[in-house]
Amino acid sequence: MSGLSEQLVDGLNASYGVHARSRAAHAKGVLCAATFTPTASASALSRAPHFAGPPVRAHVRFSNGSGNPTVPDSTRDARGMAVKFYLPDGGTTDIVAITLPVFFTRTPEDLIAFNQARRPDPATGEPDAAKVGAFLAEHPESVPAVTAAITHPTPASYAALTYHALHAFGFVASDDTVRYGRYHLVPDGGEEILDEEEAAGKPADYLRDELNDRLAGGPARFALDVQLGTADDPIDDPTAEWPPDREVVRMGTIDITGLAFDREGEGDVLVFDPTRVPDGIRLSDDKILLARPGAYSVSVTRRTSG
Closest CA to 56 of 33, 79, 75, 78: 33
What is the rounded CA–CA span in Å between residue 182 and residue 115?
26
Q: E-strand spans in 229-273?
A: 248-259
CB of 79 to ligand HEM, least distance (A): 8
User: Measured from the CB of residue 67, what is the shortest distance to ligand HEM in angstroms?
Assistant: 8
Q: Cα separation of 162 and 157, whole Å?
A: 11
Q: Output 43 or 163, the one with its CB closest to ligand HEM.
A: 163
> Which residue's CB comes closest to ligand HEM?
80
Burial, 175: exposed, middle or buried (Cβ in 10 Å; 0-12, 13-18, 19+)? exposed
Nearer to ligand HEM, 166 or 172 (CB): 166
Q: Which is nearer to ligand HEM, 32 or 56 (CB)?
A: 32
Q: Give the nearest distance from C-beta 85 to ligand HEM in angstroms.
A: 14
Dist CA 209 CA 163 (whole Å): 20
Q: Any residues with CB less than 8 A from the CB of 146 and at least 6 apart, and which?
A: 104, 132, 136
Q: At closest approach, how far in Å is the CB of 6 from ligand HEM?
A: 11
State the residues that interact with ligand HEM by CB under 6 A: 8-9, 12, 23-26, 29, 61, 63, 80, 82, 96-98, 103, 108, 111, 165-166, 238, 271-272, 288, 291-292, 295-296, 299-300, 303
CA distance 143 to 100: 12
Catalytic residue among 19, 26, 139, 167: 26
Distance of closest approach, residue 7 Cβ to ligand HEM, in angstroms: 9
85 and 56 Cβ atoms separated by less than 8 Å: yes
- Using CA atoms, how far residue 241 sits from 104, 141, 182, in Å, is 12, 10, 10
Tell the smallest beta-carbon distance from residue 142 to ligand HEM (Å): 13
82 vs 156, beta carbon nearer ligand HEM: 82
Closer residue to ligand HEM, CB minimum distance, 80 or 219: 80
> What's the start-to-end Cα distance of the chain, in Å?
23
Contact 20, 249 (CB under 8 A): no
Q: Is the separation of the CB atoms in 24 and 12 below 8 Å?
A: yes
**Of residues 82 and 251, the one with the C-beta less far from ligand HEM:** 82
CB atoms within 10 A of CB 211: 20
Active site includes 152? no
- Looking at the annotation, which residues are catalytic? 26
